[in-house]
Amino acid sequence: MSLRQQAVALGTLSRKEYHRVVRIWGQTILPPVINMALYFVIFGNLIGSRIGRMDGFDYRQYIAPGLIMMAVITNAYGNVVSSFFSAKINRHLEEMLVAPMSNVTIVLGHMVGGMIRGVLVGLAVTLVALFFTPLPFAHPFITLSVFLMCAAIFSLGGLINGIVAKNFDDVSIIPSFVLQPLIYLGGVFYSISLLPELAQQVSRLNPILYLVNAFRFGMLGVSDVPIGFAWAMMLASLAVLFATCVLLLQRGYRIRE
């Protein structure tokens, strides 16, 4: 299959995933937007007004980048894991496996699908945030690059989960018991400078802290972590996760008997 044909296959898979996201927008786009609006109302307006300023910013402003990242992470991940696992369990994944599209194309197509949902939800949540508080977008390139890389990283994470999962429990375990705690403890609602030294050191082991702070740096210009390191870590994660996905597909892990 030529490169041009692989591009057609990639376009087909990406379009298929996009249509899926849009077709069931009531499940894919709307709930996270409502959730984030509630976060802004409760943590931003009601509780936030008593907290005061954080790192020199109004609390609503301070939590906005973290909440946007939270929406991007959970939706990019959730989109790919549910799409891939349902295709696997209902066996229409075979449509792709019998076709000559390469494993790289299959991985890219699912990654793009997850990114589409992550970006759509992220943009919608950003609009909600702008309704509550102004956002200065201090470093637009960093904002955009972190936004897209974060969506890509967690799409790939979702794909690995979808490949490895044997049942529906396996699909919900990682988001509920790993991703959600890491997001909440990843500096979405607070600066780790408020924590005792030991807790700060432990927090620095949480990869999501770097994503949230890099995005916050892009939007507000403040961060708890070095941006260069965070950016490099994201790139490295992207490469490692992508290679892992391709390798798993090549080996047919839990896909081909």
Binding positions for other proteins, rule: CB under 8 A: 1-2, 4-6, 8-9, 11-13, 15-16, 19, 87, 90-92, 94-102, 252, 256-257
Query: In the chain, what's the furthest Cα-to-Cα distance?
Result: 61
Cβ atoms of 169 and 163 within 8 Å: the answer is no
Are residues 15 and 107 in contact, defined by beta-carbon separation less than 8 angstroms?
no
CB of 248 to other proteins, least distance (A): 14
Tokens 């391709």 map to which residue? 246
Of the candidates 184, 194, 185, 182, the residue with the CA atom closest to the CA atom of residue 54: 194
Whichever of 99 and 235 has its CB closer to other proteins, that residue is 99
Nearer to other proteins, 6 or 206 (CB): 6
Q: How far apart are CA 168 and CA 85, in angstroms?
A: 8
CB 121, min distance to other proteins, A: 21
Which amino acid type is present at position 24? I
CB of 162 to other proteins, least distance (A): 15
Compare residues 30 and 95 and give the one whose CB is closer to other proteins: 95
| Contact between 128 and 33 (Cβ < 8 Å) | yes
Task: Give the nearer residue to other proteins in terms of CB position, either 44 or 109.
Answer: 109
Q: Which is nearer to other proteins, 90 or 198 (CB)?
A: 90
Pairwise CA distance, residues 56 & 107, whole Å: 42
Q: Tokens standing for 90?
A: 């209902």
Residue 98 Cβ vs other proteins, minimum distance, rounded to whole Å: 5
Whole-angstrom Cα distance, residue 75 to residue 67?
A: 12
Closest distance to other proteins from the beta carbon of 13 (Å): 7
